[in-house]
Structure 1
Amino acid sequence: MAPEEQDPLRRLDDPEYPALTMSQAAELLGVQAAFLRSLDSSGILSPHRSPGGHRRYSRRQLALAARMRGLLDDGHPVASAEVIVGLQDELAAARADLARLRDHPPAVDREP
């Protein structure tokens, strides 16, 4: 039996699992549903669609929406906020790569 079949709630641990409806996501973030729809229509978020066409949001998408909301609240236009989030993500990935290299440096071939 697959682990998901043994414990169906394990899916909720997956940050990509689209568990929340639009109204639940909006309530958690303290925003209007229109804000989430605008992120969808601008291509910033791509929520999962239920068979009935309703948007479903994952924890990772909520985190992105919250970051966008913070930047927009600080006065950044949507396009600038999207660039800032992208650059922040790239910087975090580069820092993680650097930490991995520090912890496990690659073997270097040395000529005699």
Structure 2
Amino acid sequence: MTADDTLGRLNDDDYPAYTMGRAAEMLGTTPAFLRAIGEARLITPLRSEGGHRRYSRYQLRIAARARELVDEGTPIEAACRIIILEDQLEEAQRINAEYRRAADSAKPPAAA
């Protein structure tokens, strides 16, 4: 593996670079919290060859949002559902914007 390959992986938001312990430390939470949001299917960590959970930066951002909601008093299951719904809404808005752009580009030019 070249240095460029290594740097590419470290810059990849989906590369599972963080162990459970390091991820929990970065989020200021516990491994149990990470396991709980995994059990709620909010995130699915990849497994190392030894079977240990590994998290990506993208997954850590999702976990941080879950922790924020839980810290505000939202039950963990509800926090996970909220985040899933937020993600679905964002995707629907993105698709809607694409349809609008396509419809606008298909309209004939306005007569002067």
Give the structure-2-normalised TM-score: 0.79
Counterpart position of 1:7: 4
Letter in 2 for 1:7: D
Counterpart position of 2:57: 59
Unaligned runs of 5+ in 1: none
Unaligned runs of 5+ in 2: 108-112
Letter in 1 for 2:68: G
1:100 Cα shift? 2.5
1:34 Cα shift? 1.8
Deviates more, 1:70-79 or 1:99-108: 99-108
Equivalent residues of 2:14, 2:58 under 8 A apart: yes
Deviates more, 1:31-40 or 1:60-69: 31-40
1:44 Cα shift? 2.5
Give the structure-1-normalised TM-score: 0.79
Greater relative CO (CA pairs within 8 A, separation 6+)? 2
Distance 1:70 1:35 in 2: 12
Of 71, 74, 88, 1:73 maps to 71
Q: Percent identity?
A: 47
How many residues end up aligned between the 2 structures?
Answer: 106
